[in-house]
A = this chain, B = another copy of it.
Amino acid sequence: MHQVTEIALGADLLSANKRIAESNLKLLRSKGIKSFDFVGSIGSGKTLIAENLIDILKAKGMRPGAIAGDVAGDDDYRRFSSHGIPVVNLNTGKECHLDAHLVDHALEELPLDKIDVLFIENVGNLVCPGDFPLGTDKRVVIISVTEGDDMVRKHPLIFAMSDVIVINKIDLASAVDVDPQVLVKDAKKVNPRAPVLLTDAKHGKGLKEVMEALGL
């Protein structure tokens, strides 16, 4: 019985999310803001890669902004804030993903006329964010080699639904006995249209290619 209810409710929630996502994207584009949804598992390097891109953008005279999504805490919010940019902290409480409605409220708090590029860092999770587009130009999925070479096979959907795929921490590949090319091959199989990029964000490697893939 409640399975039927659940499906109906799910469809309702998803279509409502889609409508709000479209409205978010329209607002962002009307302000000339390029926007990106960074998804990926916990500790894959989403924050560090965004921080690196923020520094590069600032050096070019551009004005980045960020939304830091997490279940709890303000660790990422504080990291973004330290770059002197506008940031909103979004704590989901118990939810395992951001949704368009939460982002809608965060956009109300951001000075959109003073932002050129917006990074939205989703909750660290490779499953839940898949169904909830936020209303960004591109979705970027970031994983790290330390998660194992079976990562794409275990979570094909989020890779299929992303526009750019980043495999981070390649400096640790040999320490964890993972061949990044296995991940690259699996990713290309699941999503032939998305560029697959290798980065070592800790040492600033591969970020130029990420900038290009994002059209920045």
Contacts and interface: CB of A to CB of B under 8 A. Distances in A.
Interface of A: 2, 5-6, 9, 12-13, 16, 41-43, 70-73, 75-76, 94-96, 123-128, 130-131, 144, 146-148, 150-151, 153-157, 169, 172, 175-177, 202
Contact of A153 (B2, B75, B125): B75
B9 A127 contact: no
A154 B96 contact: no
A13 B9 contact: no
Contact of A172 (B151, B154, B176): B176
A126 B125 CA distance: 8
A21 B151 CA distance: 29
Nearest to A176: B172
Nearest to A172: B175
A146 B172 contact: yes
Given A41-B42, A71-B127, 17 more contacts: A2-B9, A2-B13, A2-B16, A9-B9, A42-B42, A43-B148, A71-B154, A71-B155, A72-B153, A72-B155, A72-B156, A73-B150, A75-B153, A94-B130, A96-B128, A127-B128, A176-B202
A55 to B, nearest CB: 18
Contacts of A175: 172, 175
Contacts of A127: 71, 94-96, 123, 125, 128
A73 B177 CA distance: 21
Nearest to A169: B146
A77 to B, nearest CB: 11
A9 B4 CA distance: 11
A95 B10 CA distance: 13
A210 B182 CA distance: 32
A130 to B, nearest CB: 8
B124 A154 contact: yes
**Which 6 A-B pairs rank lowest in CB-CB distance, beginning with the nearest?**
A43-B147, A96-B127, A75-B150, A146-B146, A41-B42, A43-B148
A44 to B, nearest CB: 8
